[in-house]
A and B are shown apart, each in its own frame.
Chain A
Amino acid sequence: MSNVEIGLASIAVILVLIQTGMHVAIALMAVSFVGVILVKGKFAIAGALLSQAALDSVARYSFGVIPLFVLMGVLVGASGLGRDLFDVAGQLFRKFRGGLGIATVFANAIFAAVNGTSIASASVFTKVAVPELIRQGYTPRFSVGVVAGSSVLGMLIPPSLLLILYGILAEVSIGDLFKAGILPGIVLAVLFSVAIILMARFASGFTGVSNRLDTASIATSEMLLKSAPVVALILLVLGGIYGGFFTPTEAGGVGALGAFLVAQFKGRLGWREIGRILIETGQVTASITFLIIAAHMYSRLLALTGLPNAMTDLLATWNLGLTGILVLYLIVIILLGTILDSASILLILLPLILPVVEPFGINLVWFGIVTIIAVEIGLLTPPLGVACFVIKSNLDDDRIGLSDIFAGAAPFALIMVVMIAIVMIAPWLALALI
């Protein structure tokens, strides 16, 4: 078997192993180990690749703050801030059909402004929104789907760990990328909302029918009171970043402390509760980061097989124009997104594609936004969809299976494809604010 064939075979094996219910990280590790033995012919080298990836691959500042962004999310959830935000949003959109779905999207878009990872968004809103959505008559499938779908806003609307990673790899200003993510993030949220209204009207079998009559009306003053802490947190994080007090990466640390103080202020945290929050944060951080580590092992194997290089060489022989290359590139990202995590896709593909597209003189900030939206589709697609996994691991409800979450998220993944097309046709969406 040639190395490239080993690379191709490894993809098939991973798909099968994941289907058997093997822990995804273990499947990725096992395939990487065997794959490197086949490519390099030595156990010791395969072992070295595993241990090095385990020790080094997430040893970056931008990964180091993952637990803090998760902690912030858990704190916002535990202190009831997420619930308040959701209540206020529910109130704002109660006149619409599918109003609580729109409220979930809206609240997620706001929450995205204080957190840098979709993991945190998905964690918080699984706890906050899913039970309420189901209680109001939406189907479980739609309830988890709307949370999964809107969680992608967490990494499109700044701050964003993915945009930071892209900025490092493509050597583009992270500040520019952040500003470029704002409008597409808002447009995507609006698209999601429109889709929810349409689905609630024309596909009520999928969404369920909301019996929203029992939603108590909230007075304006109470709405202001309820949204004040979240607004304060957003002001702290965004004001700190754009006021020059800390970097987007450091925002994880400051935001977590801010969320802790707000939670204390609301009088919700005893020692026992703090312990529970730390354990909860640890469980989400550990399972997701270990998965990311294993995905790095696998992406390193793929790079060693030369499969990505072979694919780019093939691409070069086809003499496609810029549009052709971009479309193929985006398709490859979406396909890789089914089996790899977001960071690994960027690490594998960017070094290969950048030299190909740079001669066309494209704007790398715009390219970054298009790339990130495509990469984020992978959060929602089976078999490896991190956002869906996060929802599953946060959901204390065995009646909702992973397949329900993927099915519920599918319409939102499709809308993201539309969103990519929109940003490609209208690059100013990404570039207007720079």
Chain B
Amino acid sequence: ETFSFTVVAGHPPITKGVANIRDFFIPEVNRRLEEQGKHSIEWTEAYAGSVADVKGVLEAVETGIAEFGYVPHLFEGDKLPLEQITYVTPFGTSDLPALLKVITKLHEQIPEMDAAWAKNNQKLLAPVGIDDYQFVTNFEIKSPADIEGHKIGTGGLALNWLTGSGATPVAGALTTYYNSISTGLIDGAIVFESAIAPYKFYEVAPYITKIGFGAKYSSALTINLDVWNSLPDDVKSVITEVAAEYRDKTADAYYTAGSTSLDKASAEGATISSLSPEMRTAYADNMPNIARNWADKLDSQGQPGSKTLETFMQLSNEAGLEFARDWTAE
């Protein structure tokens, strides 16, 4: 049997998660199906918002416009609140591959997470994340006090990471930071490491200060649930296997790209420094407990907010992933 499937992404294939769908997931699924010799898939690929915008992929997969989608769930806080877990627990690990393994386990222990995807008529095939977030600024940061009074570009839930720091968060995106820094609109930005070299932020903001907000679980490769349920078992198992490899491969790609990016920035003249663990802890402790606030709010809506938070912290501990602050503590 030949299936005809569409895969959509709001992000362009420059994004590693999308590039790996095109260059790994699809060809690898095809190869294994061909080995089995029973089924094949004809793919239609529509990336960069040509069928659905970054905020529309979830719905495109839900309604069946596309069978597969690269869903950046960090924009879907309303519909997928529990998936936001890593954004409300900053100062975790930089080890993205390890983090995503914890995320997979978390989904096994909190059935409500998969249920939320199911409510949007899809199944999570592979979690995708991004590497560690750092400060990139046009002034030197020797201690957290140095960012007081500065304007820092950031976006989404990461805006919360500046609460209590004395800096002004300015909403922006990767494509606007360079220009905004060069015109003086902002003095720097919070960005993940692998973006620093491609966007040449060091040209306008030569100080890279590793504070380690942590790697984040931001996106997911999903499949329409009706389609999934209608698939023969051997196709399902091929997709599941390749999706797991896609998860690891993509996580490794971001992780490696992070250090490559820093090396390049350094070679181009950027000054890279790290805040001491004590300073990092002090910064984290100075924040309001955004994780508890988030969990309490979800609890009040009948969602297992606290349970997800506690399980996530516990699973992280078991995996040896450390946090600068215990977000479960009151």
Direct contact, A vs B (beta carbon within 8 Å): yes
Docked CA distance A306–B180 (Å):
37
Q: Which of B243-268 contact A (CB under 8 A)?
A: none
The answer to whether A175 touches B46, judged by C-beta atoms less than 8 angstroms apart, is: no
The answer to whether B174 touches A171, judged by C-beta atoms less than 8 angstroms apart, is: yes
The answer to whether B183 touches A175, judged by C-beta atoms less than 8 angstroms apart, is: yes
B228-245 near A? 1/0 per residue, CB < 8 Å:
000000000000000000
Among the 9-residue stretches A109-117, A239-247, A319-327, A369-377, the one with 4 or more Cβ atoms under 8 Å from chain B is: A239-247
CB-based nearest B residue for A245: B185
B136-176 near A? 1/0 per residue, CB < 8 Å:
00000000000000000000000000000000000011111
The answer to whether A52 touches B63, judged by C-beta atoms less than 8 angstroms apart, is: yes
Q: Which of A255-309 contact B (CB under 8 A)?
A: 299-300, 303-306, 308-309
Q: Does A37 make an interface contact (CB < 8 A)?
A: no
**How many residues in B have their beta carbons less than 8 Å from beta carbons of A?**
36
CB-based nearest A residue for B184: A244
Q: Which of B26-60 contact A (CB under 8 A)?
A: 44-53, 55-56, 59-60
The answer to whether A306 touches B44, judged by C-beta atoms less than 8 angstroms apart, is: yes
Docked CA distance A348–B12 (Å):
11
B1-21 near A? 1/0 per residue, CB < 8 Å:
000001000001110000000
Contact of A48 among B46, B53, B65, B182 (CB under 8 A): B65
The answer to whether A171 touches B198, judged by C-beta atoms less than 8 angstroms apart, is: yes
Residues of A within 8 A of B198 (CB): 171
The answer to whether A174 touches B176, judged by C-beta atoms less than 8 angstroms apart, is: yes
Residues of B within 8 A of A248 (CB): 179
**How many residues in A have their beta carbons less than 8 Å from beta carbons of B?**
45
| Given A40-B64, A52-B63, A303-B46, A175-B51 contact (CB < 8 Å) | no
The answer to whether A354 touches B180, judged by C-beta atoms less than 8 angstroms apart, is: no
Residues of B within 8 A of A304 (CB): 6, 44, 46, 51, 65
Q: Does A337 make an interface contact (CB < 8 A)?
A: no
In the assembled complex, how far is the CB of residue B7 from the closest CB belonging to chain A, in whole angstroms?
11
Q: Does A173 make an interface contact (CB < 8 A)?
A: yes
Residues of B within 8 A of A36 (CB): 65
Q: Does A44 make an interface contact (CB < 8 A)?
A: yes
Most A CB within 10 A of own CB, among B14, B48, B55? B48
Contact of B175 among A168, A242, A299 (CB under 8 A): A168
Docked CA distance A378–B52 (Å):
24
The answer to whether B64 touches A44, judged by C-beta atoms less than 8 angstroms apart, is: yes
| Given A56-B56, A247-B176, A304-B6, A348-B50 contact (CB < 8 Å) | yes
Residues of B within 8 A of A170 (CB): 12
In the assembled complex, how far is the CB of residue B169 from the closest CB belonging to chain A, in whole angstroms?
15
Q: Does A57 make an interface contact (CB < 8 A)?
A: yes
The answer to whether A350 touches B12, judged by C-beta atoms less than 8 angstroms apart, is: yes
Contact of A175 among B6, B14, B44, B179 (CB under 8 A): B179
CB-based nearest B residue for A60: B53
The answer to whether A171 touches B199, judged by C-beta atoms less than 8 angstroms apart, is: yes
Q: Does A167 make an interface contact (CB < 8 A)?
A: yes
The answer to whether B64 touches A56, judged by C-beta atoms less than 8 angstroms apart, is: no
Q: Which of B183-234 contact A (CB under 8 A)?
A: 183-185, 198-200
Q: Which of A47-103 contact B (CB under 8 A)?
A: 48-49, 52, 56-57, 59-60
Contact of B48 among A44, A48, A306, A347 (CB under 8 A): A347
Residues of A within 8 A of B174 (CB): 171
Residues of B within 8 A of A169 (CB): 12, 48-49
Residues of A within 8 A of B55 (CB): 56, 59
The answer to whether A56 touches B53, judged by C-beta atoms less than 8 angstroms apart, is: yes
Q: Does B178 make an interface contact (CB < 8 A)?
A: yes
Contact of A173 among B48, B51, B179 (CB under 8 A): B179
The answer to whether B53 touches A44, judged by C-beta atoms less than 8 angstroms apart, is: no
Docked CA distance A135–B185 (Å):
47
Residues of B within 8 A of A176 (CB): 179
A214-248 near B? 1/0 per residue, CB < 8 Å:
00000000000000000000000000011111111
Docked CA distance A57–B51 (Å):
9
Residues of A within 8 A of B44 (CB): 3, 303-306, 309
The answer to whether A309 touches B12, judged by C-beta atoms less than 8 angstroms apart, is: no
Docked CA distance A304–B44 (Å):
7
The answer to whether B199 touches A40, judged by C-beta atoms less than 8 angstroms apart, is: no
A406-426 near B? 1/0 per residue, CB < 8 Å:
000000000000000000000
CB-based nearest A residue for B63: A48
In the assembled complex, how far is the CB of residue B196 from the closest CB belonging to chain A, in whole angstroms?
13
Q: Does A355 make an interface contact (CB < 8 A)?
A: yes
Docked CA distance A110–B64 (Å):
48
Residues of B within 8 A of A3 (CB): 44
CB-based nearest A residue for B66: A304
Q: Does A45 make an interface contact (CB < 8 A)?
A: yes
| Given A45-B64, A350-B48, A57-B53 contact (CB < 8 Å) | yes
Docked CA distance A306–B252 (Å):
31
The answer to whether B63 touches A174, judged by C-beta atoms less than 8 angstroms apart, is: no
Contact of B52 among A52, A167, A243 (CB under 8 A): A52
B73-95 near A? 1/0 per residue, CB < 8 Å:
00000000000000000000000
The answer to whether B185 touches A244, judged by C-beta atoms less than 8 angstroms apart, is: yes
A1-41 near B? 1/0 per residue, CB < 8 Å:
00100000000000000000000000000000000100010
Q: Does A201 make an interface contact (CB < 8 A)?
A: no
Q: Does A205 make an interface contact (CB < 8 A)?
A: no
Residues of B within 8 A of A44 (CB): 63-64
The answer to whether A354 touches B65, judged by C-beta atoms less than 8 angstroms apart, is: no
Docked CA distance A248–B182 (Å):
13
Q: Does A351 make an interface contact (CB < 8 A)?
A: yes
Docked CA distance A73–B223 (Å):
46
A-B contact pairs, 14 of them (CB 8 A): A52-B59, A59-B55, A168-B175, A171-B174, A171-B175, A173-B179, A175-B183, A247-B179, A300-B65, A303-B51, A306-B44, A348-B50, A351-B12, A354-B12
In the A-B complex, the 8 residue pairs with the smallest Cβ-Cβ separation, listed nearest first, are A244-B184, A175-B179, A351-B48, A48-B63, A244-B183, A303-B50, A303-B46, A56-B56
For the A-B complex with A45-B65, A304-B65 known, give 19 more contacts whose Cβ atoms are closer than 8 Å.
A42-B64, A44-B63, A44-B64, A48-B60, A48-B63, A49-B65, A52-B63, A169-B12, A170-B12, A171-B199, A173-B175, A173-B179, A175-B179, A247-B172, A247-B179, A247-B185, A299-B50, A304-B46, A308-B50
